[in-house]
Amino acid sequence: MDHSLKSEEYLLAQKLEEDCHTHYSGKQFWSKSVLQQIITSDYVRHLLTSGNKQNANYDEIVDTHMRILAVLTQLGKSSDLWKIIEAGVSDKNLPLRKVNLRGDISYSICLKDSPRTALGCFAHWDKSHRELFLSKQYQFIPAFLDMKDGKAIKNESFDSTVLLPFLEDEHKTHGGYGDIHKVKIPSDCHGFDGVLKSIITKDYFAVKHLPADKSRSAELDEEFWQEVEALQRYSGLVHEHLVTLLMTWKIGDQYCLLFPWADSDLSSYWKTLSNAPKTDSVDHEFVLWISRQIVGLAGALATIHSVGDHGGIRKYGRHGDIKPENILFYPSSQDQRGILVIADFGLTAFNTTGSRSNQPNRSIGNTPGYRPPECDISGGTISQAFDIWTFGCLLSEMVCWTLGGPGKRNDFQMKRTTLWITNVNTPIFFDVMINDQDKSDMNKMKQGFSRYVPCLGRKQLKQREPKHAIMAKPQSEYVIMVKPEVSEVIAELHNLPQCTRYFHDLLDLIEDRMIVVETPNHKRVRSPALLVELEKLQRKVSDADSYSLEPCPSKRSTKRFPPVPADLTFQAYKTIETHNPRLKTRTDGTRP
């Protein structure tokens, strides 16, 4: 190699060292755009003059061999580029593979599509240089993460040798539904800028690693594609208050999903004192923001509940796990206060028109604190009303926080934390109580229950209660009602000095039409109607300062909704039999 080539090669190698990205593992890597800034056609012309190729198209060489040239430069072998070009090998063939032919202990290099054919252009290299080329090439072909046409989710299958372009990788949470990592991806290694107009990512993303278990691979595959299906239908591209799945990939047995990283969820947002609202006065801009977010979340929920036509079949969905931890907060370019987004569709279910309100309540995942009554009622169905109850619970806590800060929300949680059928205190929003009846009936029930429980095997206990078991239970031995503590706190909120007409109307909507124990004559509001009502309130907030600015506390009596008679599920009966909790007794009238 002549001195001029050595000099040019050294300068290029030095430039590559200066302009690289550093992987969280310590490795260097180079994106295509970084290489394009360094390796220009003029640079290549100077570098390769000794090759004596008078008619060489250096622009084309940059387009087709830029990455290979960068690897060769680091190895001090840029002059071998001509041999590689003549062999028909280009960047599109990367990564190259090693091949061991006829027991050759030093092995050769081959194309990944021709694993039995050694490439002669590397034959004169020693083993150490071949090993260096094969290992270094991955640093120049990091995965580029993006969407199809900027709007469709890519589902990739990566080789285990792939270099994911993560500058930072921090393990944040671990759970049964997967591990969450916070990663930083340089802007030249992803194509997500501008995809989500209302969210600022700052190049930070969340990678959800789903559990890998070879013994359950088929089941995990189904769970993965179920979650992906939900996330494809619901995204920030459809409604800005829905989280957006940006991409998925699989490496070996590990499935991963990529989302924009959220600074916090609503639960941690509420706990951060710097976010706490003023409780000594009414901030109109803050109330406007709260109103926008509530309408936005309601709109996102209505979108979930009416997915649309798919393959000629009208499908409807439900989220199944609305709670503060599943509402994410993002900084936004369109709202200086940020934006709230519904996330975590791991429990989401889809149903057709005929089945959307007829899903059995057996094996339904739910959040203990926001658990709706139908989870424990025999024959109860899990419908979209499930989400209305949980959303109502969330809004009640949001109003607590807005009017009284974190302290008022904590007080609300403590007041409604009472004894549950598990004999443990929980902040659930409804009570299961004993219905006042003749003691002989109670004894008959207990005797009947004791007779059939011992005869059920372990396998049978996991199934729906048998018919003879249902017959052994007296009708309406229990009643269900919204906890009095919930109604008492809502009455207190009405009487807070900073409560305005907006919050009076919002609390009435929550109490009368959302946190409702359903009966045939009293149903929760449907999500489209809920959205309409909330939009009306928001317009009043925007149009009339007095509606949201002028405090008008109201000393209201606590609403007492009559208890609803209910036959409990077999599992609920079994829980009561096992834990023997000291449940309250109701003696007043019951709702028909």
**pLDDT recorded at residue 252:** 86
60-65: long-range pairs with CB below 8 Å, 24+? 61/85, 62/36, 64/90, 64/91, 64/92, 65/90, 65/91
Statement to judge: residues 383 and 397 lie in one domain: yes
In a domain, 118, yes or no: yes
Task: Assess if residue 307 is contained within a domain.
Answer: yes
Find out whether 165 and 145 touch, Cβ atoms under 8 Å.
Answer: yes
What DSSP string runs through 156-208? EEE-TT-----SEEEEEE--TT-EEEEEE--GGGB--TTTSTT---TTEEEEE
Same structural domain for residues 310 and 219?
no
- Rounded CA gap, 240 and 289, in Å? 15
Residue 431, strand partner residues:
481
Per-residue pLDDT, 195: 83
| Strand (E) or helix (H) holding 209 | strand 204-209
Under DSSP, the state recorded for 137 is G
**Can you give the residue range of the structural domain that contains 580?**
265-352+369-437+474-586
456 assigned to some structural domain: no
pLDDT value at position 322?
93
Task: With respect to residue 68, please indicate whether it lies within any of the assigned structural domains.
Answer: yes
Nearest CA to 50 among 82, 73, 75? 82
Q: Is 474 helix (H, G, I), strand (E, B) or coil?
A: coil
Confidence (pLDDT) at 313: 53
Which of 50-59, 256-265, 368-377, 483-492 has the highest mean predicted lDDT (pLDDT)?
483-492
Q: Quickly state the pLDDT bin for 436 (edges 50, 70, 90).
A: confident
pLDDT, mean of residues 202-217: 82
Same domain for 343 and 418, yes or no, is: yes
**What H or E segment, with its residue span, contains residue 248?**
strand 247-251
- Which of residues 261, 286, 303 is at a domain's end? 261
Q: Which of 40-54, 116-130, 298-312, 442-456 shows the lowest per-residue confidence on average (mean pLDDT)?
A: 442-456
Segment 536-550 shows an average pLDDT of 90
Looking at the structure, do residues 103 and 169 belong to the same domain, yes or no? no
Backbone CA torsion sign across 451, 456, 457, 462: negative
At 105, list the tokens.
């202990």
**Do 49 and 121 belong together in one domain?**
yes
Chain center to CA of 14: 43
- Calpha distance 180→185 (Å, rounded): 15
Which tokens go with 309? 């036509």
Higher pLDDT, residue 8 or 549: 549
Residues 6+ apart with CB under 8 A from 130: 98, 106, 107, 108, 109, 122
**Of residues 417 and 178, which shows the higher confidence score?**
417
pLDDT in tens, 122-154: 999 999 999 999 999 999 999 999 998 877 889
Token duo for residue 258: 């990529």
Does 132 share its domain with 176? no
Q: What is the 3-state secondary structure (H, E, C) of 318-382?
A: ECCCCCHHHEEEECCCCCCCCEEEECCCCCCEEEEHHHCCCEECCCCCCCHHHCCHHHHECCCEE
Residues 256 and 271 in one domain: no
Side by side, the strands of the sheet bearing 247-251 are 154-158, 247-251, 254-260, 204-209, 179-184, 168-173
The residue among 314 and 290 whose pLDDT is bigger is: 290
Q: What does the pLDDT read at residue 2?
A: 44
HSE-CB of 180 using CA atoms within 13 angstroms: 15
Q: State the DSSP H helix or E strand holding residue 33, giving kind and residue range, or none if neither.
A: helix 32-38
Residue 231: the pLDDT is 81
452 against 94, higher pLDDT: 94
Q: In the block, which residue shows the tokens 């994410």?
A: 328
Structural domain ending residue among the three candidates 261, 292, 317: 261
Q: Is the pLDDT of residue 52 over 50?
A: yes
CATH number of the domain at 218, please.
Answer: 3.30.200.20
Q: Which two structure tokens, joined as six digits, stand for 169?
A: 């990788």
Interatomic CA distance for residues 302 and 291, integer angstroms: 16
Percent of the chain, pLDDT > 90?
55
Centre a 10 Å sphere on the Cβ of residue 306 and count the other Cβ atoms it contains. 15
379 with 505, same domain: the answer is yes
Q: What average pLDDT does range 549-576 have in this prediction? A: 91
**pLDDT at 86 > cutoff 50:** yes
Question: pLDDT category, 450, cuts 50, 70, 90?
Answer: very low
pLDDT value at 325 more than 50: yes
What gap in Å lies between CA 20 and CA 43, rounded to an integer? 18
Asked if residue 165 and residue 89 are part of one domain, the reply reads: no
Helix (H, G, I), strand (E, B) or coil at 460: helix
Distance between CA 151 and CA 191 in Å, rounded?
11
Residues 554 and 432 placed together within one structural domain of the fold:
yes
Q: Which of 72-86, 276-290, 550-564 is least confident?
A: 276-290
- The answer as to whether 444 is a domain residue is no
At 194 the pLDDT is 79
Q: Is residue 278 domain-shared with residue 236, that is, in the same domain?
A: no
- Average pLDDT of 563-572? 91
| β-strands 247-251, 254-260 pairing | antiparallel
Q: Measure CA of the first residue to CA of the last residue in the chain; give whole Å.
A: 95
- For the chain, the domain total comes to 3
Q: Which of 256, 239, 390, 415 is nearest to 320 (CA)?
A: 390
Tell me, yes or no, whether 543 lies in a domain. yes
Q: Phi-psi region for residue 202, left (φ > 0), alpha (ψ -120 to 50) or beta?
A: left
Of the residues 140, 164, 179, which one is the last residue of a structural domain?
A: 140
- Say whether pLDDT at 470 is over 50: no
Of 53-57, 81-85, 225-229, 519-523, minimum mean pLDDT range: 53-57
Per-residue pLDDT band at 312 (split at 50, 70, 90): low
**What's the pLDDT score for residue 329?**
95
In percent, the amount of the chain with pLDDT more than 70 equals: 82
When pLDDT is cut at 50, 70 and 90, the band that residue 316 belongs to is low
Confidence check: pLDDT of 310 > 60 = no
Structure confidence at residue 347 as a pLDDT band (50, 70, 90): very low
Specify the range with the lowest mean pLDDT, choosing from 57-66, 228-237, 419-428, 485-494: 228-237
Same domain, 344 and 286: yes
- Structural domain contains residue 148: no
| CATH code of the domain covering residue 271 | 1.10.510.10
Structural domain includes residue 555: yes
- Lowest mean per-residue pLDDT among 237-241, 327-331, 485-489: 237-241
